[in-house]
Structure 1
Amino acid sequence: MARVAATPDRVAYRYPVPVDEHAADGTPGAEQWRPMTWGQAAERVQHIAAGLMSLGIEPEQRVGISCSTRIEWILADLGIMCAGAAVTAVYPSTNAEETAFILSDSGSRAIVVEDAKQLAKILGVLAETPELRSVVTIDGSKPEGDAASAAAAAGVEVLGLSELEERGAAHLKDHPDEVTDAVAGIKREQLATLIYTSGTTGRPKGVRLVHDCWSYQAAAQSSLGLTDDTDVQYLWLPLSHVFGKTLTSGHIQQGSVIAVDGRVDKIITNLPVVQPTYMAAAPRIFEKVYNGIASKARAEGGAKYKIFMWAAGVAREYAETAQKNQIATGARTVPFPLQAKHAVADKLVYAKIRDAFGGRLRACVSGSAALAPDINFFFSGVGVHILEGYGLSESSAGSTVNPGEGYRVGTVGRPLPGTEVRIAEDGEVLLRGPGVMRGYHNQPEKTAEVLESDGWFHTGDIGELDKDGFLRITDRKKDMFKTSGGKYVAPSEVEGRFKAVCPFVSNILVIGNGRNFCTALITLDEPAIMQWAGDNGQAGRSYAEVCTSPETHKLISGFVDELNGQLQRWQTVKKFTVLPRDLDIEHGELTPSLKVKRPVVERENAALIEAMYEGSREA
């Protein structure tokens, strides 16, 4: 409300809309980016809130959202909270069984869904969601035939979002102060959001985040000075994930512009159009961009490839030298000869990379998993500054982040103001602060396992703090393993190093718990490896055939050898298998935030893993 009162006519959001449905050749038609002011957004939010109230939604009752990242997700989220209710975030990719569990466990009374596909999924689980009474479809989809009969029999009303807003507008004519009063009545400790962990094992747990969590995140982000009201942020991250959600809180505090479009396949196209000054992303995006650049240079061969490799080395050297000097002296300086080489490389290579990001990008924030330092140093030297941060669903995302000018590659920065970090005796990272959850929904025993009575939250991550207060995460506590020879291995460290040396890798899983050596399952980035395959005698083969070919195994073997040259003997990967397809969410191998579900991948590929150890002597 304060933001709207302060800047009602300032643009708050930009979002794509089709200019025409299809081009003459049948391809999707042109799009344009439409602005929405804070005042326009507030009107729609009020109508959504009032519409939900007209459906009987009461304070702290849960209303789900199952939708990709788009402007309507944000408006629905704000509308639900302005009604005094709480949002149950559901990934649109979540299968029917897990969706039913989340809606039932949360006791959700209504849900906003994106389209007919999401509607069909919800109507298919009505028997498992007895408290659900209303379904709102963003695209206006309605059930037909048996589906309509099933909804009616269950007492579930289905209406379009525009209908909900019309009802809300009519409701406000008779109850003009109802939404304002509901907002005024919200308490700091009132439930705002239930985000279900996409955890790599077991049933998801509902993380209870109250209004004070989001208010704290907004204030803490603003105090860092990383962004201001002149910024344009490109938001494509899943809003069902805590990382995406917390960005919207900071945006309201800052009063800047968010360009919203969750279509990952549109990122490269959108960047030059949106021209963001700020963007947040998961490491996989930066890895894919790096792999794409390196693969294109390799395919061009000759002088261009040599120039790129030289420029990449200069970028890393420049960034590492600047960081070392800043730590030692406080000044981010480099010697003149290196400055000169960097200036030449900038004209030949770096400027084109920055242009691909829109040309105005001041900083990116990376979170949800570790980014390989070599990749980060590369982008830093190029002038695309990636500030790694750290947080969990249980801490409403942001707990630490690297400062804008003094960021340190290889760390996740310092704690946000108001957040405390300490390292337990066994190396586990503990957090305490206003952003920490108030517990797991309906699971007091699970809550007690991770949340101490004095507010310290056990993250499950292993890390260390340096003398300047920068946090470095070394691995997940449960992922670290010991070889049969008694040596500890942090798999994420090895995996990160491999991603930096191999431009074709998509995912890698290092294995070796209780074994006498380490092995790895590797998947390859399809565009990168198929381009290489076409240039190396494998044209016409399918992606699966290329991945499993002897030629590809030989190619990847060279990168594994390069990796092993950087590792201790017990960390080295003795054998590896390239899988015939990439890991994905649909097969349950990745979480919606693109984290690898190790137990699932190991279970699915148990025979391949055993084959790599066949004939070896277990100590």
Structure 2
Amino acid sequence: MSKMAPEMLALQRLYHWEKTSPNRVAFTQPMGGGVVQDTTWGEVANQVRRMANYLQSQGWEPGSKVAILSKNCSWWIMSDLAIWMAGYVSVPLYPTLAAATVHQILTHSEAKACFIGKLDGWEQMKPGVPVGMPCLSYPLSPPDAIKSYPGWEKICKDTPPLQGNRERGGDELATLIYTSGTTGMPKGVMHSFSNFAWALDAGIRRLPMGADDRMLSYLPLAHVVERVLVEHGWLRTGMQVFFADSLDTFAADLQRARPTIFFSVPRLWVKFQQGVHHKMPQAKLNLLLSIPILSGIVRRKLLKALGLDQCRIAAGGAAPMPLALLQWYSKIGLDINEGYGMTENLALSHITEPGKNQQGTVGPAYDGVEDRIDPENGEIQMRSPALMLGYYKEPEKTREAMTEDGWLRTGDKGRLDKQRVLSITGRVKDLFKTGKGKYVAPAPIEDKLMTHEAIEACVVTGANLGQPLGIIMLGADYQSRAADAGARAELEQSLAQHLKTINAALDPHERLQCLVVASTPWTVENEILTPTFKIKRNRIEELYAASYDGWESSGKKVIW
């Protein structure tokens, strides 16, 4: 473990900004109805000190766990800091979990209390909170939580601020980040304060960030990327963080923030692209971009309409980005850096280098990260000082995740070129064998499927079938269009042609028998997607496997 300078650890960064920039705006928080609330570094530190004093007065053992169940907001980050200042360990929960998962995480982590924050589905989650667990509410919590639990503002009013600068050692456990559960029950990944500080050091060397930057926080803070990039990026640099209010106000929130650094998952980059196509068909866009004087004006207008005209670093990750999508954004003047990482390594493994054409790869490793490919099965393995301390209360699973010589088994397959630039080629366990005994890697075929503008998400499956199948979900626009018989026939023809083109480029055993259009949207709520919009393959199998044989033998190329 590399030793981090104490002044780079999370709490020490808070004390630094409290002392040097107390009047600078740290957070811009929408309060609903178009009203926003700015909070300065001095005010952030004051509220954190008061809440820390309150938490400490509960008399829990040092190192006790305290949970946060909320959508992103300024109180989320202040709660995290207060938990640390009080000598405890934070346990964030995704704000979209089912009650059973909420219960499983709160009991497994042995949380002493839980902050119940800004939530859309509190009624459904509430039964998951263990009976008798003390809870606290935020100003934007659901009315029922505000009525039932002690409130942030009253606690801060009634409690004096904790005096002095309490420090937490770099080796101390800071948080348990529960994985998003693509492969079964979430595991509690343990990370120390040093892990975060080291990750920021390495991250800033590849993608420089500073006090003048602005970020919009909207992907769940319970997810490792948002936690490292937004929360710890903010603590390190002193930049201003804007929060999104809701899905409906997202476009306005983006315009308000005009972020200079923006990270998004592939699903949302696709949605932005579909929004542009909705207003301007690709053929017209191509024409305008080909006219020298006009092209610059068109690019600026498009990026301004997206709220990304000030964006100097754009990044994507959490799932593979289709090459065609990356190329489309480059064409409109926004180069997206594609990153690769996991909860277990604080999302800090590889990312493409700005200004270098590494599209279609995830770039070289960050400085200080070692990588290698297992010659047996092609698995990517890595190690760095940001590697987890292990899975909480799961020594057996921790051992399984590591090689004997201390490298993390990522579960992803990949290849390194001569420049040590990494390309991901699929998941070690996602490979499936067709009835002909041939292995199929779904990820590269899924990337090809995603190039059709109507397809928002897809899965290639078919263990033990003669040929694999593609199951696709249409974008909302196309779902409503498909209700019209004429439009549906046209779309069916376009999808059948797309299938034909893809199959022509595949090996015989990889060719898709047909495309199946899912009628049920895939959402986080029906548990087909993780909170970061990754598809749970095991859930797809549960829902559709019984129909595979019928689809395969139907003789149709597109099945609705």
What is residue 11 of structure 2 aligned with on the other side?
A: none
The 1:266–1:615 alpha-carbon spacing in structure 2 relative to 1, beyond 3 Å, is closer
Contact 1:291/1:528 (8 A) holds in 2? no
What is the DSSP-based 3-state SS (H/G/I as helix, E as strand, rest coil) of the residue aligned with 1:397?
Answer: coil
Whole-angstrom distance in 2 between the partners of 1:119 and 1:288: 27
Whole-angstrom distance in 1 between the partners of 2:72 and 2:119: 16
- Which one has a larger percent helix, Structure 1 or Structure 2? 1
Contact 1:246/1:398 (8 A) holds in 2? no
Where do residues 523-534 of structure 1 align in structure 2 (5 Å cutoff)?
Answer: 523-530=473-480
Query: What is the identity, as a one-letter code, of the residue corresponding to 2:502?
Result: L
Are positions 1:357 and 2:371 aligned together?
no
Contact 2:341/2:348 (8 A) holds in 1? yes
The offset of 1:95, in angstroms, is: 1.1
Whole-angstrom distance in 2 between the partners of 1:49 and 1:597: 38
Are positions 1:227 and 2:230 aligned together?
no
- The counterpart of 2:225, out of the listed 237, 243, 262, is 243
Whole-angstrom distance in 2 between the partners of 1:614 and 1:560: 17
What RMSD in Å do the two structures reach over aligned CA positions?
2.6
The offset of 1:615, in angstroms, is: 7.2
Where do residues 141-540 of structure 1 align in structure 2 (5 Å cutoff)?
Answer: 158-169=149-160, 172=161, 176-177=163-164, 180=165, 183-184=166-167, 186-247=168-229, 248-261=231-244, 263-298=246-281, 306-310=283-287, 341=290, 343-344=292-293, 346-347=295-296, 349-358=298-307, 359-425=309-375, 426-452=377-403, 454-500=405-451, 502-530=452-480, 537=486
- Per-residue deviation, residues 113-137 of structure 1 (Å, max 9, x unmatched): 12587765665345x567x334445
What is the DSSP-based 3-state SS (H/G/I as helix, E as strand, rest coil) of the residue aligned with 2:457?
Answer: strand
Q: List gaps (5 residues or longer) in structure 2.
A: 1-14, 556-560
Are positions 1:594 and 2:544 aligned together?
no
What is the DSSP-based 3-state SS (H/G/I as helix, E as strand, rest coil) of the residue aligned with 1:14?
Answer: strand
Contact 2:112/2:134 (8 A) holds in 1? yes
The 1:129–1:118 alpha-carbon spacing in structure 2 relative to 1, beyond 3 Å, is farther
What is the DSSP-based 3-state SS (H/G/I as helix, E as strand, rest coil) of the residue aligned with 1:65?
Answer: strand
The 1:97–1:32 alpha-carbon spacing in structure 2 relative to 1, beyond 3 Å, is same
The 1:74–1:407 alpha-carbon spacing in structure 2 relative to 1, beyond 3 Å, is farther
The 1:295–1:68 alpha-carbon spacing in structure 2 relative to 1, beyond 3 Å, is same
The 1:477–1:66 alpha-carbon spacing in structure 2 relative to 1, beyond 3 Å, is same
The 1:253–1:51 alpha-carbon spacing in structure 2 relative to 1, beyond 3 Å, is same
The offset of 1:465, in angstroms, is: 1.4
Contact 1:231/1:257 (8 A) holds in 2? yes
What is the DSSP-based 3-state SS (H/G/I as helix, E as strand, rest coil) of the residue aligned with 1:458?
Answer: strand
Whole-angstrom distance in 1 between the partners of 2:158 and 2:120: 24
The 1:220–1:5 alpha-carbon spacing in structure 2 relative to 1, beyond 3 Å, is farther
Where do residues 541-560 of structure 1 align in structure 2 (5 Å cutoff)?
Answer: 552-560=491-499
What is the DSSP-based 3-state SS (H/G/I as helix, E as strand, rest coil) of the residue aligned with 1:74?
Answer: helix
The 1:362–1:532 alpha-carbon spacing in structure 2 relative to 1, beyond 3 Å, is farther
The offset of 1:37, in angstroms, is: 2.1
Whole-angstrom distance in 2 between the partners of 1:222 and 1:342: 37
What is residue 4 of structure 1 aligned with on the other side?
A: 18
Whole-angstrom distance in 2 between the partners of 1:280 and 1:450: 27
Query: What is the identity, as a one-letter code, of the residue corresponding to 2:151?
Result: G
Query: What is the identity, as a one-letter code, of the residue corresponding to 1:558?
Result: Q
In the comparison of the two structures, how many residue pairs are matched?
A: 537
What is residue 561 of structure 1 aligned with on the other side?
A: 500
Query: What is the identity, as a one-letter code, of the residue corresponding to 1:352?
Result: K
Whole-angstrom distance in 2 between the partners of 1:250 and 1:15: 18
The 1:423–1:310 alpha-carbon spacing in structure 2 relative to 1, beyond 3 Å, is farther
The offset of 1:417, in angstroms, is: 2.1
Query: What is the identity, as a one-letter code, of the residue corresponding to 2:497?
Result: G
Query: TM-score, with normalisation over the residues of structure 2?
Result: 0.89
What is residue 56 of structure 1 aligned with on the other side?
A: 59
The offset of 1:208, in angstroms, is: 0.8
Contact 2:31/2:245 (8 A) holds in 1? no
Query: What is the identity, as a one-letter code, of the residue corresponding to 1:519?
Result: L
Contact 1:512/1:518 (8 A) holds in 2? yes
Whole-angstrom distance in 2 between the partners of 1:206 and 1:574: 40
The 1:420–1:4 alpha-carbon spacing in structure 2 relative to 1, beyond 3 Å, is farther
Please identify, of 347-356 and 410-419, the stretch whose mean Cα deviation from structure 2 is larger: 347-356
The offset of 1:253, in angstroms, is: 1.1
Aligned residues with identical type, % of pairs: 28
What is residue 577 of structure 1 aligned with on the other side?
A: 516
The offset of 1:453, in angstroms, is: 5.1
Whole-angstrom distance in 2 between the partners of 1:615 and 1:356: 45
- The counterpart of 2:542, out of the listed 599, 603, 618, is 603
Contact 1:139/1:161 (8 A) holds in 2? no
The 1:432–1:523 alpha-carbon spacing in structure 2 relative to 1, beyond 3 Å, is same
Q: List gaps (5 residues or longer) in structure 1.
A: 19-28, 149-157, 299-304, 315-340, 539-548
Contact 2:462/2:548 (8 A) holds in 1? no
Contact 1:51/1:167 (8 A) holds in 2? no
Whole-angstrom distance in 2 between the partners of 1:465 and 1:552: 39
The offset of 1:226, in angstroms, is: 2.9
Contact 1:237/1:262 (8 A) holds in 2? no
Are positions 1:133 and 2:134 aligned together?
yes
Contact 2:370/2:382 (8 A) holds in 1? yes
Query: What is the identity, as a one-letter code, of the residue corresponding to 1:434?
Result: P
The offset of 1:513, in angstroms, is: 2.4
What is the DSSP-based 3-state SS (H/G/I as helix, E as strand, rest coil) of the residue aligned with 1:369?
Answer: coil
- The counterpart of 2:27, out of the listed 13, 16, 26, is 13
The 1:229–1:599 alpha-carbon spacing in structure 2 relative to 1, beyond 3 Å, is same
What is residue 302 of structure 1 aligned with on the other side?
A: none
- Per-residue deviation, residues 535-565 of structure 1 (Å, max 9, x unmatched): x746xxxxxxxxxx55543342232223334
The offset of 1:143, in angstroms, is: 5.9
Please identify, of 348-357 and 404-413, the stretch whose mean Cα deviation from structure 2 is larger: 348-357
**Highest CA radius of gyration, 1 or 2?**
1
Please identify, of 451-460 and 99-108, the stretch whose mean Cα deviation from structure 2 is larger: 451-460
Whole-angstrom distance in 2 between the partners of 1:558 and 1:292: 24
